[in-house]
Chains A and B, each alone.
Chain A
Amino acid sequence: MDWTVIAEYMPLFREAAFLTVRLGLTGIAIAIAVGIACAVVLYYRIPVLKTLVSFYIELSRNTPLLVQLFFIYYGLPKIGISTNPVFCGISGLAFLGGSYMCEAFRSGLEAIPPIQSESAESLGMSRLQVMRYVIFPQALSISVPALMANVIFLMKETSIFSAVSIMDLMFTAKDLIGLYYRTTESLFLLVVFYLIILLPISILGSLLERRLRYAGFGA
């Protein structure tokens, strides 16, 4: 391995890593919002919306992100819906992630016994208040492990952005291999940068999980 090459490539990879994190986090944030909205719809069994949400979840969970992105980026413009790479990447990630996040929140919501909302309502709280102050905080802490797993999963999925011309870590490595044929150095930097991004999330995830497990014992 040639360290001068590593030093030379470093800024490119750093930039790509920032882009990866930025797009990943944006996509994940939207996915969480979509997930919460869908989970609430399913929890209250809101008619019509419920059917739509179920349909969306099945569609999103049973198709690969790469195929979703190809369809959004290369297919949709043919019927007049054009996107740019960044928008496409983020919306693809949100489309995929929304359903996974929804499942995570839903299992959290369903774990709260109905007696809690009944008692809260009998105390005179409105439905919204019950959700806001009683159900949601508990459900959130129950769904944290699944949520963190999804964050890691979605962050990893950003590597697929390279297929729609986003210069993320994956594409940077591929491009440099194609340009200067320094395979070893490019792959090394690729692995190191993904570790830098994903290892902390993974550690944070298991810390949270442990803390919640202890909390569970106390209850």
Chain B
Amino acid sequence: MPDLGLNVLLKGKNMQRLLSGLWTAMRISLIAVAISMPLGILLGVLMTKKNPVVRAVLRVYLEFIRIMPQMVLLFLVFFGTTGAFGWNLSGELSSIIVFSLWGTAEMSDLVRGALISIPKHQYESSEALGLSRSQTFAYVIIPQTVRRLIPLSINLITRMIKTTSLVLMIGVVEVLKVAQQIIEANRMASPNAAFGIYLTVFLLYFIVCWPISMLARRLEKKWKD
């Protein structure tokens, strides 16, 4: 059995440090999720409105945010805003802003998609049954939309968690940076640490994201029929 460099994890507080690095990334994604879910729902509903100005503005926002790689957005916010507005944002705050903006854009698109996927005849039949507009929404449209939406939003959450690995690039000390520090500090004692440590990070992300994906899939199956 070759040395896989896993023993490094047991030295000092290394494992604990990796986990706290993972928590740093999780914290960023959880805050961003908490911000972007309600905002995304709001924007998504707004986008189904007929007002052309609102729609155009939202479209521009949505297209730009969704088309730019998240890494570019991180750089724009982290370095660009100081030049443009004199803001001085920490890496973590920049990440939260970027992931909230991006999450909101993706979420609003999911909401819009779910809303327009409800066939028109549902509105018409509800009306024919004598339901008021708010009753139609409360008892007919929203329950159906939510069922379509929840699995998709859970998937979005895993995507956001995965993407937070990029914050390494703007100097946030998250799990990958901690991994690098550990590899660097132990280069002499365990030259193969890069294998063991990066494998551990890989598995840590999997352990976090997999149950969430499974939940999404289960809900999707359950609500399909």
Contact = CB atoms under 8 A, between A and B. Distances in A.
Interface of A: 58-59, 61-68, 70-71, 74-79, 152, 156-160, 162-163, 170, 173-174, 177, 183-184, 187, 190-191, 194-195, 198-199, 202
Interface string B150-165: 0000000010001101
Contact of A71 (B70, B79, B198): B198
Interface string B169-212: 10000001001000000000001101111110110011001100
A156 B159 CA distance: 14
A159 B83 contact: no
Interface of B: 2, 4-5, 63, 66-72, 75-76, 79-80, 83, 158, 162-163, 165-166, 168-169, 176, 179, 191-192, 194-199, 201-202, 205-206, 209-210, 213
Contacts of A70: 176, 179, 198, 201
A199 B5 CA distance: 44
A151 B70 CA distance: 15
Given A70-B198, A75-B194, A184-B83, A191 B68 contact: yes
A62 B195 contact: no
12 contacts: A58-B210, A58-B213, A62-B162, A64-B205, A66-B165, A75-B196, A75-B197, A75-B199, A78-B191, A174-B75, A183-B79, A187-B80
Contacts of B5: 78
Contacts, number: 114
Given A67-B201, A183-B80, A78 B194 contact: yes
Binding site secondary structure of chain A: helix
B79 A67 contact: no
A79 B67 contact: no
A195 B75 contact: no
Nearest to A202: B67
B192 A67 contact: no
A115 to B, nearest CB: 19
Contact of B209 (A62, A65, A174): A62
Contacts of A76: 195
A32 B206 CA distance: 23
B166 A71 contact: no
B202 A78 contact: no
Given A64-B166, A194-B69, A198-B67, 7 more contacts: A61-B213, A71-B201, A79-B4, A159-B72, A170-B75, A173-B75, A190-B75
A76 B72 CA distance: 28
A190 B72 contact: yes
Contacts of B70: 156, 159
